[in-house]
Chain A
């Protein structure tokens, strides 16, 4: 059994106008399906990456996994425990400590009025445990100095702040860390430092990562298994190498072709056409059909199920199963 087991996960947001406007303007309720029937498994001590463009629901899945948002439908089990339905307070507390999160913007996710020591020790102190020397030890582990514990967040650069965020996540001795675009706000050379650090810590502490990113090159470097999301649906899932060498879903193929490459000097390729449709009124059938070069009548009517094709799971009518 997998460490993380997500089954038929769905999240719907109510984005209607206030009720008075609805009455006067005769508008129906508007619902946005951010995540639609997503099922996936994450093995222990592996890195699972979710990629997709904005609005694909990757951050929403991350938030539901850590419990910041309740699912509208479906189950999430981590280590055999479903946080949404678990009634035993002790198990719930333990699981909450074991799942931690690192956010995108290290400038917004650290309290500017707190010293680094307090920021790092807070999750442990909140549970009433002993925290003496903890912050200093963790700071050295993430490549900062123990003396930095008495400084404030503004005294650090972006990359150093993200290291502090990593140290804070590690303070609870987690098993699973959800990393939501952890390096998108950083410069390339600093991004490399943080990614290397995260790989090292994974091996050292036996961590499992859910790695959320829009950057395909970062994902390829970090992930063991990759799930591609489009408009809230999982369209393809495969091992990192398989996905990049043999993408099956037309969306994955488009995404890989569109990404700028270092050796594509003066590329004169036709860029992909169209944009992501409105998630409040998604197209019927397969959500990708308006932009898909292979779309048939079936694709415009029926949503494809996930099927196995080699080592890949793919949701496309046009990919032969096998």
Chain B
């Protein structure tokens, strides 16, 4: 099947007074229809930046320096602003972390939904209202007909995030980028939102890029997972494989340092040090200074391309 989205060697650069920073450096992946790709990494790893580049929301001076982004085989990274606006919302939906700031506080949610529907689909005002109501019902807002006239502040955090999801899906996009959609929510509500996102995307055949720092959320929701470190893909593969037999030492360290993984042990496994700053990247593999298995080759040569799913000169064996 043709991929919904293809990202090829994407490089995002930010020119500064002290040289050019590369928050995203040579990222490539494909996304099949209906697939959920989890993008995981620590803060500053470039996971949100990749998502923003796809939807064309990079804040200047950040810009795409090279590489291609293809949506249904059509290049979208070099489209003029006007064309891109038609794609945003119509073909790519977006769910952000904070549902309060992604809704207009001065408009009732029903109007926000029907406005979006009318912008992207050729329907009458009445039809748009009906669709908006159906969308609210679909995301599980109780008494949706009465809540059409409610303002965002009248909803709780979880309900607001449901409205945002309805908004992202109402024009029936083929791709949704969800950037930390549950980070601001409580555990019990988080479980509801994840289940909702999974169900809707399955029903509509929508592909999802799920950006999060929470490995648990990824394990629950994603089909495939991409692990990012210092702007580069460290590892990509089916979620079960990556989580149970990680091949990149960083993935291994990340999973090992989660408290859930050390139940019964006195100490947590920790990765020494911190992620390097973008203006002080080491010459070789970016993870080499923290890597327990690093050898001279890792410190001298940049890491190899993703071979067998992991960008590492010495990928870990499945057995270890």
Q: Does B154 contact A (CB under 8 A)?
A: no
Complex interface residues of chain B between 246 and 286 (CB less than 8 A to chain A): 253-255, 257-263, 266-272, 274
Residue from B189, B190, B271 within 8 A of A189 (CB atoms): B271
> What does the 1/0 interface line of A269-285 toward B look like (CB < 8 Å)?
01111011000000000
Least CB distance, B159 to chain A, in whole angstroms = 8
Residue from B240, B255, B260, B274 within 8 A of A217 (CB atoms): B260
Q: Does B213 contact A (CB under 8 A)?
A: yes
- What's the Cα separation between A193 and B269 when bound, in Å? 8
> What does the 1/0 interface line of A165-202 toward B look like (CB < 8 Å)?
00000000000000000000001111111011001000
Q: Are A262 and B43 in contact (CB under 8 A)?
A: no
Residue from A54, A188, A214, A254 within 8 A of B258 (CB atoms): A188
Least CB distance, B140 to chain A, in whole angstroms = 10
Q: Are A275 and B187 in contact (CB under 8 A)?
A: no
Q: Are B195 and A265 in contact (CB under 8 A)?
A: no
Q: Are B191 and A271 in contact (CB under 8 A)?
A: yes
Chain B residue total in the interface (Cβ 8 A): 43
- What's the Cα separation between A12 and B272 when bound, in Å? 44
Q: Which residues of A contact B213 (CB under 8 A)?
A: 187-188
Most chain B beta carbons < 10 A, residue from A189, A195, A258: A189
A: contact size bracket: 35 or more
Q: Does A127 contact B (CB under 8 A)?
A: no
Q: Are B255 and A262 in contact (CB under 8 A)?
A: yes
Q: Which residues of B contact A159 (CB under 8 A)?
A: 274
Q: Are A260 and B220 in contact (CB under 8 A)?
A: yes
Q: Does B192 contact A (CB under 8 A)?
A: yes
- What's the Cα separation between A199 and B267 when bound, in Å? 8
Q: Does B215 contact A (CB under 8 A)?
A: yes
Q: Are B253 and A220 in contact (CB under 8 A)?
A: no
Q: Are B156 and A189 in contact (CB under 8 A)?
A: no
Q: Are A189 and B257 in contact (CB under 8 A)?
A: yes
Q: Are B188 and A258 in contact (CB under 8 A)?
A: yes
Q: Does B216 contact A (CB under 8 A)?
A: yes
Least CB distance, B147 to chain A, in whole angstroms = 14
Q: Are A272 and B270 in contact (CB under 8 A)?
A: no
- What's the Cα separation between A222 and B265 when bound, in Å? 10
Complex interface residues of chain B between 175 and 202 (CB less than 8 A to chain A): 186-192, 194-195
- What's the Cα separation between A160 and B214 when bound, in Å? 21
Q: Does A113 contact B (CB under 8 A)?
A: no
Q: Does B239 contact A (CB under 8 A)?
A: yes
Q: Does A132 contact B (CB under 8 A)?
A: no
Q: Are B42 and A188 in contact (CB under 8 A)?
A: yes
Q: Does A85 contact B (CB under 8 A)?
A: no
Q: Does A146 contact B (CB under 8 A)?
A: no
Q: Are B42 and A195 in contact (CB under 8 A)?
A: no
Least CB distance, A222 to chain B, in whole angstroms = 8
Q: Are B219 and A190 in contact (CB under 8 A)?
A: no
Complex interface residues of chain A between 27 and 49 (CB less than 8 A to chain B): none
Q: Which residues of B contact A255 (CB under 8 A)?
A: 187-188
Least CB distance, A162 to chain B, in whole angstroms = 12
Query: For residue B41, which residue of chain A has the nearest CB?
Result: A187
Q: Which residues of B contact A158 (CB under 8 A)?
A: 43
- What's the Cα separation between A263 and B220 when bound, in Å? 8
Q: Are A263 and B219 in contact (CB under 8 A)?
A: yes
Q: Are B191 and A275 in contact (CB under 8 A)?
A: no
Q: Does B21 contact A (CB under 8 A)?
A: no
Q: Are B270 and A196 in contact (CB under 8 A)?
A: yes
Q: Are A196 and B267 in contact (CB under 8 A)?
A: yes
Query: For residue A265, which residue of chain B has the nearest CB?
Result: B240
Residue from B42, B195, B259, B274 within 8 A of A218 (CB atoms): B259
Q: Does A298 contact B (CB under 8 A)?
A: no
Q: Which residues of A contact B191 (CB under 8 A)?
A: 258-260, 271-272
Q: Are A192 and B43 in contact (CB under 8 A)?
A: no
With A189-B254, A191-B257, A262-B219 known as contacts, the answer to whether A216 contacts B271 (CB < 8 A) is no
Q: Are A216 and B261 in contact (CB under 8 A)?
A: no
Query: For residue B215, which residue of chain A has the nearest CB?
Result: A262
Q: Are B216 and A259 in contact (CB under 8 A)?
A: yes
- What's the Cα separation between A266 and B36 when bound, in Å? 11
- What's the Cα separation between A214 and B214 when bound, in Å? 14
Complex interface residues of chain A between 44 and 68 (CB less than 8 A to chain B): 53-54
Q: Are B187 and A221 in contact (CB under 8 A)?
A: no
With A188-B213, A217-B259, A260-B214 known as contacts, the answer to whether A265 contacts B270 (CB < 8 A) is no
Q: Are A260 and B217 in contact (CB under 8 A)?
A: yes
With A195-B268, A271-B195 known as contacts, the answer to whether A221 contacts B219 (CB < 8 A) is no
- What's the Cα separation between A321 and B98 when bound, in Å? 43
Q: Does A26 contact B (CB under 8 A)?
A: no
Q: Does A109 contact B (CB under 8 A)?
A: no
Contacts beyond the supplied A195-B268, A214-B187, A262-B255: 5 A-B pairs with Cβ under 8 Å:
A53-B186, A188-B215, A191-B259, A192-B259, A193-B272
24 residue pairs A–B, Cβ–Cβ below 8 Å: A53-B186, A53-B188, A54-B186, A187-B43, A188-B258, A189-B270, A190-B42, A190-B274, A192-B258, A193-B270, A217-B260, A221-B268, A222-B259, A258-B188, A259-B187, A261-B219, A261-B220, A262-B216, A264-B216, A265-B240, A266-B220, A270-B195, A271-B192, A272-B188
